[in-house]
Amino acid sequence: MLTWIKWLVLSVIAIIALGIGAIYLSLYLSLPTLDGNASTEHIHTNTLLSRDEMGHAIITAQNKRDAAYALGFAHGQDRFFQMDLQRRTASGELSEWVGSAALNLDKKHRFHQFSQRAQKVFDTLPASQQQVLIHYAHGVNAALEEMTVAPFEYLAAGVTVRHWRPTDSILVAYSMYLDLQGGQVAIDLARTALKGTFGEPLYRFVTQPSNYQAALDGSEIPLSDDPIPDYPRLPEAKQEDMANANIAGETHYDATPPPDIGSNNWAVSGKLTATGSGMLANDMHLGLRVPIIWYRTQLNYTDKGKDVQVTGVSLPGLPGVIVGTNNYIAWGFTNANLDNVDWIALDDDTPTTQVEETINLGDGTTTFTLHTSEFGPVKTINNQRYALNWVAHHPFAVNLSVTDLALARSVDEAINIGKQIAIPTQNLVMVDVQGNTAWMPGGAVMERRKASFTAIPQSAAENLQPRKATTLPVVKNPSSDRIWTANARVISANDLSRLGDGGYALGARGRQIRDRLFEKDTFSEEDFYAIQLDNHAQFLIPWHDLLSGLLIQHDIEFKMDIAYLGKWKECACEDSVGYTLVKHFRRQVIQKLFGRLFSTLDSQGVNSRTLLRGIEPAVWQLIHTQPNDWLPDNTDTFDELLVDAYREAKHSLLDTYSPKEADMETLRWGAVNALKVEHPFASQIPLVGSLLNMDDVEGFGDTYMPSVQAPGFGASERFFVSPGHLDRAILTLPGGQSGNPLSPFFSRGFNDYATHAATPLLPGEVLYTRRWYKKEE
């Protein structure tokens, strides 16, 4: 019997060893070849792709098309899985990889019909941009054809590698529309449902302006002086569904606002630097995963008679540098949140067309029906049909003009190029070597006389001719010599009615950055890095003071809690338990006050969480005024509501992080908000899947401060640069160049990110080189 068990155990161990060996072999065989020579008919003349010890792609070519070919090859070698993931996300084809788990997401994205729109965009591009996309695709496919074994993700999922098409790059651009502007699509419907369900007074109360305003021109939208509306009567159907409203509406509602997609950037003129050159900072906030979104790139080529050397980050799937510098200028982006969405309430007799969509689930298929109209794809909410008119649905939504910033020699030239750019609308901030600095909306903005905040009637849309706006505001060399953006309103209050509100961030982060910029008169790259790492909890100080005052009245029950609040350090610091308590107290208060209302909206098929970004003034108005009709059932006073909210937040935290010991030390912010940069397939690969992830890092930073970080979200790059002085420039990324865990470039650079060190922008000594020669006809 013992012998039989021994052989069984040995057999299991042998099978596991063979499985691990097979995984290792497939990873090894899928490593790209980094040195060597080849010939191809897809380049004009000899072209080089070099890499340094970090895997930084350094491309030397005679023209932009050849550079695109080499960049496509580099992206295909190091990041094809990421590229494929993004084109599948936009086209609604993720289910082929992961099955029914992605079905609802695929249906949501098929609504936009991006696969069909991509071809229309390609057909409208200038011939020169079409050629760049074609050569880029040839480069990607040349890398695929060299692979001995497909990347491990394809082996794990049993999916065949599909070659890259020029239109797939447009799908990658669409995936960024979904990431950066998807919230705009949701927020107008949420506002419409809020107003339609509960009336104008509650709508104005929830969406009122806040005192966190930091527009570049200093303009402010007047604060509301409207009285608090009565707590509304919930719809009858909702009352029946929520027999125990406190439990269903408050406990299960997720009162965490969606992340403020889009980032920080700021700049100062040469008057505030030691060198006289302008200085730029940029950290784009996005979801963090393995492989990371950006790719270190330097392109050297000639275009339009100019020698170009541009260094920065490219987006695998697209040719060219997205954010970077050519040593004459530098530029960066944050999500502008201008309104580019109209939901159109269709008349009852407006015809629609049915479209049958088939989704491949890997082991089968499923079919569903979409409805479209002359105004756009149609969604039904509360028996009302709404058609979506979104800038992303029009051919002018995408082009490659962002890559022309590499040609600019001054801020003025960059502004002219910025007017041609078609990407999800961004705050484009620029500086140049002469010391100038400027801001403008860069990207596809819909031309409208008046922006909409809720759905518009069909009659208002019938004469609209969708086109890209040509007149946009520009701020150049402001008198303060400082520019800042952080996803909140940057535009003048006078421009708001025309350019709208597509879901601005509250403004606390932008105001904190602005204030930091006025604390000094001279800045270095290291000073900018310090601002990016600023985790001072300025926004939560009123919440801390409120909670401390409440708990002191119950000092026997909360003696330990009061001690933690006393040493919270006013920062989202790794060792701060008090910060965790304050953060989750605020969330639970919002949940108790608005959970039932917003759950009602969600039951109608909208996403009410988008409304939470601006909920702060309404919450404090309730706390200060304390109207009895806003109290939940079985609650007599607001103090009781607030203390109960704290108890619930604390118990929920302890249930999650220390269910047995109830140890408050486990609630250190560094543990609760630990950074986890993980591969999306890691959990599906037994035993060794965790090796695909970066090491966990103690949490540092949070939402309403410059140092933005959540467990899987944060600064996707930290970029600090002064043109003409690139030897001091910094580009720190949360991961490495390659998606293959056996590559020397897999995690190179992540340690700098985790320890807040400064990684040089410029590439180092060349270690590997691929050469292409023109194949003779």
Find tokens 């006073």 and name the residue.
Answer: 637
**Which has the closest alpha carbon to 132: 40, 42, 50?**
42
DSSP characters over 310-338: EEEEE-TTS-SEEEEE-SSEEEEEEE---
**Which has the closest alpha carbon to 67: 40, 49, 83?**
49
Count, residues in the chain: 777
Is 342 annotated to bind ligand? yes
Q: How far is the C-alpha of 684 from the C-alpha of 362, rounded, in Å?
A: 16
Is 639 annotated to bind ligand? no
Q: How far is the C-alpha of 440 from the C-alpha of 694, rounded, in Å?
A: 36
Contact 676, 712 (CB under 8 A): yes
Q: How far is the C-alpha of 649 from the C-alpha of 645, rounded, in Å?
A: 6
**Which has the closest alpha carbon to 165: 44, 72, 92?**
72
Q: How far is the C-alpha of 350 from the C-alpha of 121, rounded, in Å?
A: 27
Q: How far is the C-alpha of 650 from the C-alpha of 662, rounded, in Å?
A: 10
Find tokens 């229309």 and name the residue.
Answer: 120
Q: Of residues 263, 452, 576, 743, which has the active-site annotation?
A: 263
> Which distant-in-sequence residues (6+ apart) come within 8 Å of 255 by Cβ?
587, 588, 590, 591, 594, 595, 598, 612
Find tokens 């292409």 and name the residue.
Answer: 772
**Helix and strand element counts for the chain (H, E):** 23, 25
**Which has the closest alpha carbon to 688: 697, 696, 679?**
679
Kind plus residue range of the DSSP H or E element containing 30? none
Looking at residue 248, the DSSP 8-state letter turns out to be I
Q: How far is the C-alpha of 374 from the C-alpha of 351, rounded, in Å?
A: 9
Contact 89, 82 (CB under 8 A): no
Cis bond upstream, residue 291 (ω within 30)? yes
b or e along 589-603 (b: 16 or more beta carbons within 10 Å of the residue's beta carbon)?
bbbbbbbbbbbbbee
Kind plus residue range of the DSSP H or E element containing 347? none
Is 527 annotated to bind ligand? no
CA distances from 187 to 238, 272, 369 (A): 22, 39, 24
Contact 47, 775 (CB under 8 A): no
Contact 322, 315 (CB under 8 A): yes
Q: What angle do CA 80, 82, 86 make, to 5 degrees?
A: 115
Please say if 277 is a catalytic residue: no
**Which has the closest alpha carbon to 423: 438, 406, 440, 445?**
445
Q: Which residues are identified as catalytic?
A: 263
User: Which residues contribute to the annotated binding site?
Assistant: 339, 341-342
User: Which residues contribute to the annotated binding site for Ca(2+)?
Assistant: 339, 341-342
